[in-house]
A = this chain, B = another copy of it.
Amino acid sequence: MAGNRVTLKDIAQKVGLSMATVSRALADHPDISGETKARVREVAQALSYIPNYRARYLRAKHSRLIALIVPEMNMFFVPSMITGINRVVQANDYSLIVFQSDNSIVQERRLVEYCTHLSADGVLLVLSSETANLQHLDILHEVDIPVVLLDKTIDTVKYTTITIDDEEAGREAASYLIARGHTRILGIFGDQRQRISTQRLKGFRRAHNEHGIPMEESQVLRVTIVNELEEQLDRAFAAHPDLTAIFTMTDELLVHTHHLLSRRGVRIPEDVSLMAISDGQAPSFLHPNVTHLRHSGIEVGERTAHILIGMIEHNSDAMMDIRIRTTLVELGSVATRTATPKRRAKPSTGKRTA
């Protein structure tokens, strides 16, 4: 049907003016008389003219495209982060183009390169778990495309980074539990290749030190595949009959832990208290609602996008390291312990390995 798209030339012809004039008329350029503008607009309308941004942006040096690369689309955090990013990206007349690295460094490298082909104006990057260094970002630097790293990052002095204060959050959570009389806390952490994990764990450790609470290595679980969580949990319960509280580093770990506890018949918070770092959604539909250090994905997304756009528009290449503070949200999953806990030994689900 289409019959090729209407262009400026078509309008120019119809209205008897040059393309240049038509272009300026449509752009509301002051050189063009009001009368002409009106006529041009009318014809453009009549012909249902659609501007071709591809051509426009070819001439201009930018593309108004911002790329986001995430390792995967899980149901936690990423969606709300995207919501936040999208909000400010759209508000500033950019478009967001989303890629998924599937936690593969090879893919990530490929995608970063692809961003240069598309001449993205900026790149937002959540590192894959395989990413151990940032050499593959050099190409962006070479062609002056600003990048900001968010959420999952590694240490760098070269790129702007936005995360929560992971260590502090870990410390605060453990501290909170300790202050409520819990002296044997199980910490559930994620993939140790990610800074997010090591830092939160570091804070968790520090809280114990600061309060002079001894902590055994078997109190920290490092979970790379959630399927292994159950077994690890069994072992931990067996090793620590005096366990009274659990801290999970993320929402994903939280919901799975919560489920396993329920299945095991553990009452929260009567038998075991539960606390997490979370963006606040999961805690609201778990029972009881779980006390957490809130870490809003939307906020992270919004701030990140703002900063990136600032870098794009002011050509700033100052490197920043931004830590967003978490806020404590007290709900019903943490009990206060008095002196000696009187916890009974609970039967395990019996799936422990022989």
CA separation between A117 and B1, bound complex, in Å?
A: 19
Cβ–Cβ contact B95 & A118, under 8 A: yes
Pick from B83, B98, B286: contact of A72, CB below 8 A: B83
Cβ–Cβ contact A83 & B97, under 8 A: no
CA separation between A73 and B86, bound complex, in Å?
A: 10
Q: How many copies does the complex hold?
A: 2
Q: How many interface residues does chain A have, given as a range?
A: 35 or more
Write the A99-122 contact mask toward B (1 if CB under 8 angstroms, else 0): 110000000000000101111000
Cβ–Cβ contact B79 & A74, under 8 A: yes
Cβ–Cβ contact B54 & A142, under 8 A: no
Chain B residue nearest in CB terms to A75: B75
- Residues in chain B near residue A74, CB distance under 8 A: 79
Write the A63-83 contact mask toward B (1 if CB under 8 angstroms, else 0): 101000000111110111011
- Residues in chain B near residue A2, CB distance under 8 A: 142-144
Pick from B76, B119, B142: contact of A48, CB below 8 A: B142
A321 smallest CB distance to B (angstroms): 22
CA separation between A63 and B52, bound complex, in Å?
A: 11
Pick from B58, B139, B256: contact of A54, CB below 8 A: B58
Cβ–Cβ contact B100 & A83, under 8 A: yes
- Residues in chain B near residue A50, CB distance under 8 A: 116-117, 139, 143
Cβ–Cβ contact B63 & A54, under 8 A: yes
The stretch among A20-28, A153-161, A185-193, A257-265 that forms the contact with chain B is: A257-265
Q: Does A340 contact B (CB under 8 A)?
A: no
Q: Does A5 contact B (CB under 8 A)?
A: yes
- Residues in chain B near residue A143, CB distance under 8 A: 2, 5, 50
Cβ–Cβ contact B75 & A117, under 8 A: no
Complex interface residues of chain A between 270 and 322 (CB less than 8 A to chain B): 281, 284-288
Cβ–Cβ contact B63 & A73, under 8 A: no
- Residues in chain B near residue A63, CB distance under 8 A: 54
- Residues in chain B near residue A255, CB distance under 8 A: 285
- Residues in chain B near residue A90, CB distance under 8 A: 99-100
Q: Does A241 contact B (CB under 8 A)?
A: no
- Residues in chain B near residue A141, CB distance under 8 A: 1
Q: Kindly list the 6 A-B residue pairs having the minimum CB-CB distance in the complex, ordered from nearest.
A: A262-B287, A255-B285, A2-B144, A73-B79, A75-B75, A259-B285
Given A95-B99, A256-B285, A259-B286, 6 further pairs, Cβ under 8 A: A2-B142, A72-B83, A82-B98, A86-B100, A90-B99, A95-B118
